[in-house]
Amino acid sequence: MKLDEVQTHLSKVEAIFLDQMKNTASFRLKESMEYSFLAGGKRIRPLLLLSLYADLTGKIEDKAITVATALEMIHTYSLIHDDLPAMDNDDYRRGQYSNHKQFDEATAILAGDALLTDAFVVLAKSPIDSALKIRLVEELASTAGSNGMVAGQMEDMLGEEKHLSLQELQKIHREKTGRLFVFACQAAAQLADKDDYLAQKLGEHLGIAFQIRDDILDVTASFESLGKTIGKDAATEKSTYVQCFGLEGAKEKLKEQIQEAKETLAQLTNERGATWEIIERIEKVN
């Protein structure tokens, strides 16, 4: 399947989210959750899940779309909380005011809390058999919780004013960014009833590649193309791939990860479909 076709299914991700929002018992909370979720962004995580599922099965089904929705809700909550004044203190996100600037801090904290919690409602209601569903709940929660994304954000903040070794930097990236990419690939493989070891490996390479790309864009992109504050890493003296290896060195590292990702994908499927196109999209930083 072509990435263009996979992308047409993103509207269903928004539809499942909006359907869940019908139950929200506070108008302001609903408004704030929808503000951030519907701002869009690249939707790279749900796209990756759906693309790999399509490449492995030849189709896109509701069960995959539902898991992709839960994953994007978790990602959106993490952006809202990361942007808070007490955290990265970012005023812009996805080309618009960040949630706490548009609303206020309390609302942003609660909108994040609710997106995180409701992701598990969406997942629990998905049309997947109970045993696999429980496995996905456990994996998504492990991915996002104190052994994954939240730990990565905590260590990222603690590392801001010190010089991190490459090893420390990679550990943070693996938890903060990599784990959600791994979940996207693993969930696709599990839903498609395929071995998930290679899928995990694919997710790991793509997670690192995506993070290096992010570090590169922070110094090369414009606010208009990125939709968020640029040059922030340098301003906060944050350890990044660019700071560790220089711009050209970081581009080289990106190339290596992309190569590994392509080789891993080739072992998973002969299809040069949507997942391949996503890899090529991450590859382009100019």
Amino acid at 19: D
For a copy of itself, which stretch binds (CB under 8 A), given 41-49, 124-132, 213-221, 242-250? 124-132
Helical segments of the chain, H only: 3-8, 10-21, 27-37, 44-57, 62-83, 99-102, 105-125, 130-144, 149-158, 166-173, 179-191, 197-220, 223-226, 232-235, 241-268, 274-283
For a copy of itself, which stretch binds (CB under 8 A), given 137-145, 208-216, 221-229, 254-262? 137-145
Name which of 193, 181, 187 is nearest 278 in CA terms.
181
Pick one of 15, 127, 147, 272: the residue that binds a copy of itself (CB under 8 A). Answer: 147
Pick one of 19, 38, 59, 158: the residue that binds a copy of itself (CB under 8 A). Answer: 158
Amino acid at 279: I
For a copy of itself, which stretch binds (CB under 8 A), given 6-14, 139-147, 181-189, 258-266? 139-147
Per CB under 8 A, 76 contacts a copy of itself: no
Per CB under 8 A, 161 contacts a copy of itself: no
Per CB under 8 A, 153 contacts a copy of itself: yes
Per CB under 8 A, 226 contacts a copy of itself: no
Cα angle for residues 132, 138, 141 (degrees, 5° grid): 135
Q: Are 10 and 47 in contact (CB under 8 A)?
A: yes
97, containing H or E segment: strand 96-97
Q: What gap in Å lies between CA 157 and CA 137, rounded to an integer?
A: 27
Per CB under 8 A, 113 contacts a copy of itself: yes
Pick one of 11, 23, 222, 270: the residue that binds a copy of itself (CB under 8 A). Answer: 23
| Binding pattern for the stretch 168-187 against a copy of itself, x by CB under 8 A and - elsewhere | ---x---x------------
- Give the footprint of a copy of itself on residues 24-43 (CB under 8 A): 24-26, 28-30, 33
Q: What gap in Å lies between CA 87 and CA 223, rounded to an integer?
A: 20
Q: Where along the sequence are the contacts to a copy of itself (CB under 8 A)?
A: 21, 23-26, 28-30, 33, 77, 81, 84, 86-87, 104-107, 109-110, 112-114, 116-121, 123-125, 130-131, 133-135, 137-138, 140-142, 144-148, 150-155, 157-158, 171, 175
